[in-house]
């Protein structure tokens, strides 16, 4: 994947708003130095997104509040770092749309990060893990979107894919910590119990997203797309009702 060639320091807006029902989503502004040293970031302000009705627009008011609090203008941004899913259908689209629009307004670079990677960094900022850390999201029927980070090698053994019981059984190792949002299919939970995995609640933070900055993919605003591991329910229901969904050939 391409990497950004950015000056130092730069003004970064980080948007983690993909899963409104998972604790601690939020946005932040930071001045970041060497792209390979995200720990050198100076966080200027952070605003959490409180859980409300799923139709409420919390993201844009939070970003506006960040700008007001810090005196930053959208045109001042050098980059917009955004978590791109999996997540809620509407929430993830809004996050990507907001990032793309702000990048167009400011001529900032867009840096996209899979949300599962944000979850891993959030966990590692909050607790110690000794073996592997597995994140399971978007669970439905007998599959989930799964990423695994091997702590001994400091690398991903699975960067994120939709896995069923067989693939999940092969991926999960004894001693792995498993973070999920509470909707993990029963077949996958049984495998975790068999492995003796500690299960912890999934959390997502803007600080966790900022920690992913050095590995983010640089994309053009018009090419920014959410990650949907399976066809969204809204599209499936449209197809059932009308035979074709918008965009079908």
Of the pLDDT bands very low, low, confident and very high (cuts 50, 70, 90), residue 2 is very low
On whether both 111 and 219 belong to a single domain, the answer is yes
Task: Say if 56 falls within a structural domain.
Answer: yes
On whether both 23 and 96 belong to a single domain, the answer is yes
On whether both 194 and 219 belong to a single domain, the answer is no
Please count the structural domains in the chain: 2
- Report the candidate in 188, 199, 183 with the shortest Cα–Cα distance to residue 165: 188
Span 87-114, mean pLDDT?
95
Task: Say if 49 falls within a structural domain.
Answer: yes
Task: Say if 121 falls within a structural domain.
Answer: no
Span 134-161, mean pLDDT?
95
pLDDT tens-digit series, residues 209-222: 999 998 999 999 99
On whether both 92 and 189 belong to a single domain, the answer is no
- What's the domain range around 65? 10-115+204-239
Tokens 């090419």, residue? 223
- Residue 149 in contact with residue 156, Cβ under 8 Å? yes
Burial of 23 (0-12, 13-18, 19+ CB in 10 A): middle
How many CA atoms within 13 Å lie on the side-chain side of 209? Answer: 31
Span 116-133, mean pLDDT?
94
pLDDT tens-digit series, residues 101-117: 999 999 999 999 999 99
Does 36 have pLDDT greater than 50? no
What is the token pair recorded at 209? 């997203």
CA–CA distance, 63 with 68 (Å, rounded to integer):
9
Span 197-220, mean pLDDT?
95
**CATH number of the domain encompassing residue 184:** 3.30.420
- Residue 55 in contact with residue 72, Cβ under 8 Å? no
Span 193-210, mean pLDDT?
96
On whether both 212 and 193 belong to a single domain, the answer is no
Task: Say if 244 falls within a structural domain.
Answer: no
pLDDT at position 81:
98
On whether both 32 and 110 belong to a single domain, the answer is yes
pTM: 0.89
Span 54-61, mean pLDDT?
75
What is the token pair recorded at 53? 């009705």
Does 119 have pLDDT greater than 70? yes
pLDDT at position 1:
39
């Amino acid at each position: 994947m391409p990497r950004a060639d950015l000056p130092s320091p730069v003004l970064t807006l980080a948007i983690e708003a993909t899963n409104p029902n998972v604790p601690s989503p939020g946005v932040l502004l930071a001045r970041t130095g060497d792209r390979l040293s995200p720990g050198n970031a100076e966080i200027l302000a952070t605003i959490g997104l409180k859980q409300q009705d799923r139709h409420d627009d919390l993201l844009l008011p939070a970003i506006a509040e960040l700008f007001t609090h810090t005196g930053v203008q959208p045109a001042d941004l050098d980059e917009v770092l955004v978590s791109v899913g999996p997540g809620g259908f509407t929430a993830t689209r809004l996050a990507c749309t907001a990032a793309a629009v702000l990048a167009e307004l400011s001529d900032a670079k867009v840096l996209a990060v899979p949300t599962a990677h944000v979850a891993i960094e959030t966990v590692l900022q909050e607790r110690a893990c000794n073996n592997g850390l597995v994140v399971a999201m978007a669970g439905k029927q007998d599959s989930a979107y799964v990423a695994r980070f091997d702590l001994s090698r400091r690398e991903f053994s699975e960067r994120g894919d939709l896995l069923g019981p067989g693939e999940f059984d092969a991926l999960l190792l004894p001693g792995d910590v498993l973070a999920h949002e509470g909707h993990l299919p029963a077949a996958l939970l049984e495998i975790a119990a068999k492995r003796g995995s500690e299960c912890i609640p999934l959390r997502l933070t803007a600080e966790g997203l900022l920690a992913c900055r050095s590995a983010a993919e640089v994309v053009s605003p018009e090419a920014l797309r959410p990650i949907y591991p399976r066809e969204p329910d809204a599209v499936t229901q449209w197809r059932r009702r009308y035979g074709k969904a918008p965009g079908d050939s």
